[in-house]
Amino acid sequence: MSMKRIVRVSLEHPTSAVCVAGVETLVDIYGSVPEGTEMFEVYGTPGVDVYISPSVERGRERADARRWHFDTGLEIIVVMNSPSNDLNDSHVQISYHSSHEPLPLAYAVLYLTCVDIALDCDLNCEGRQNRSFVDKRQWVWGPSGYGAILLVNCDKDDVNCYDQDNCDQHVHCLQDLEDMSVMVLRTQGPAALFNDHRLILHTSSYDAKWARVFHTCGPEDSCEAYRHVLGQNKVSYEVPHFHGDEERFFVEGLSFPDASFTGLVSFHVTLLDDSNEDFSESPIFTDTVVFRVAPWIMTPSTLPPLEVYVCRVRNNTCFVDAVAELARKAGCKLTICPQNENRNDRWIQDEMELGYVQAPHKTFPVVFDSPRNGELQDFPYKRILGPDFGYVTREPQDSSVSGLDSFGNLEVSPPVVANGKEYPLGRILIGGNLPGSSGRRVTQVVRDFLHAQRVQPPVELFVDWLAVGHVDEFLSFVPAPDGKGFRMLLASPGACFKLFQEKRKWGHGRALLFKGVVGDKQISTVSINQVLSNANLISYNKFVQSCIDWNREVLKRELGLTEQDIIDIPQLFKVERRKAVAFFPDLVNMLVLGKHLGIPKPFGPIINGQCCLEEKVRSLLEPLGLHCTFIDDFTPYHMLHGEVHCGTNVRRQPFSFKWWNMVP
């Protein structure tokens, strides 16, 4: 893995050299040549392969095949494939000849000691082709690629510690090692060689910022045996003389890929020759391995649910009970954040996004804590961070956080193919403003983080027309048994007006919205006739529809969708402070738990004993095998400009697809 080493031979005394198994060494015979030399012969003892390379065009030939004309353009290449048992137990002999002399003019001898040195790690990840030789200095994406993977050790395996595992230079419990990648230094050769040669493990000062290396210096079942040797302020480490063929190192990631970090970290081992007291050390060989830090990966609502989170606050007991029942039906765990911890902040979707990290040896969930920092700000770190549950956050240095930095404005699509490009892990969807406008956007540090993960390239949608400004206010994804395996649901004022017009045509114009709403405030009912005669409401919803249509075209283009992949869900909006909010509970802002959907109860017009909005939604979704449960969130959520999805969060199964098999 390093440059070819050049060794010069001498006629005056034998020369000794160290070579590395499988690595070419160039022998320079031109510095000391007997006068009259016209030809030469080269022989190696058993186990020493010697080649002559006359030119690039002719390639190489075995040196012992014949006598060679002396030409300064020739290269003599020596390769040994097995380590030596003793110092200088092999050699190469060069004899110099003249056509005028029957015997050689002189001999030169190069004594060789071969050592086998390799810095190894798991290069052939699950699902990739097994490759007997790869260039460890490279990291290659795709099923035919190769390269080692490093996890950010961002969980907290020792419950007695306050900080994440990678926040200090110690191993606090042996379970912590399971989150690290193993790097092995293998060395074979005469032990006496290391009396005047040293092995140095090293990295660059740049790479040292992103990873930390521990070396076992004692019994592996003792935390005290793991010594921090590389990373942060340590860029080199002399590997001590050891007994045996290999030394194990444990590597942990310190940071996810970001604007200033590509995710690649390199480590090197160099054999240094310290045998000459009159000269400084010289490098003989360097081996290198490259790790890629595993990205943080989001999970779309179409993946199976594992755990549902909800906050219990002053006035949402019935809501929590309804979510608990839906979680029971879906067969997933329920975690309730109590009021003394959430301090009446119910927007758990906005506080965090639940994703995961994955390496061939380990997968664990990681919560991404949003920069919104409401009353729930301590919940992800204090309650979710723990053994095999990691934590990451990004916060701007300035005060640039807006409502768009809440994670109701952070979603991800199911796997798609768009413009000939596969996105097997889907694409992240975030909301912002129109190109060239000066409206609200997700803060730069969050955008940088999302883009840097590379495996779910973000798409920015237009949400600045919304008062809250979140993508989950007008879209969601549900599983489907056909087509692409999902449908995208879009809020549609047009579909709602069409539905109401049909109901009025059939004589139901007096049917009332908001009938039966129970809460602290009296909610005025409004009829279908009143809605359809409200010129301001109609005009404003035409504007809203144009905004959603803009996003519809972006989503079709960037996700490769057709109209058959989209379902229009009837929804109206109203204006507050020149921005849009839902006129009745926002139907697309739903909780998706497999085939079970928790949908905001719209309190739409009751016709023949049925809410016509619920009936319409059922007719659109139940043919897909989905079960619709309408949850009353009117007072505790809708009145505060949020709905079911805003008030819940879900941890889901990771993708079966391994991220390293994709090509970004």
**What positions carry a catalytic annotation?**
646
The answer to whether the beta carbons of residues 24 and 77 sit under 8 Å apart is yes
Contact 37, 68 (CB under 8 A): no
Cα of first residue to Cα of last residue in the chain, in angstroms, is 27
Nearest residue to 186 via CA among 242, 265, 124: 242
Residues 6+ apart with CB under 8 A from 579: 465, 466, 467, 469
What Å distances lie between residue 541 and 324, 341, 499, 514, 548, CA to CA? 35, 39, 14, 19, 10
CA distances, 621 to each of 54, 477, 566, 582, 614 (Å)? 75, 11, 11, 21, 11
43's CB contacts (< 8 A; 6+ apart) are 50, 63, 64, 92, 93
Residues with Cβ within 8 Å of 296's Cβ and at least 6 positions away in sequence, in order, are 256, 355, 356, 357, 366, 368, 392, 449, 453
Backbone dihedral angles phi then psi of residue 166, each to the nearest 5 degrees: -90, 15
Q: Within 13 Å and on the Cβ side, how many CA atoms surround 331? A: 4
- Whether residue 471 contacts residue 433, with contact meaning beta carbons closer than 8 Å, is answered with no
Contacts for 664 with CB less than 8 Å, ≥ 6 apart: 141, 454, 455, 457
Phi, psi dihedral angles at 492 (to 5 degrees): -140, 100
For the purposes of burial, counting CB atoms within 10 Å of the CB of 349, is it exposed (0-12), middle (13-18) or buried (19 or more)?
A: buried
Are 580 and 544 contacting, i.e. CB atoms less than 8 angstroms apart?
Answer: yes
Whether 600 and 643 have beta carbons less than 8 Å apart is answered as: yes
- Can you give the three-state secondary structure of 196-229, one letter per residue? CEEEEEECCCCHHHCEEEEEECCCCCCHHHEEEE
Rounded Cα distance between 354 and 390, Å, is: 10
| 177's tokens | 């090692």
What DSSP line would sit under 163-185, residue for residue? S-GGGSSS--SGGGGGGSEEEEE
Q: Name the β-bridge partners of 486.
A: 479
R_g of the chain computed on alpha carbons: 34
CA 258/CA 529 separation, integer angstroms: 54
Q: Within 10 A of 639 (CB to CB), how many other CB atoms are there?
A: 16
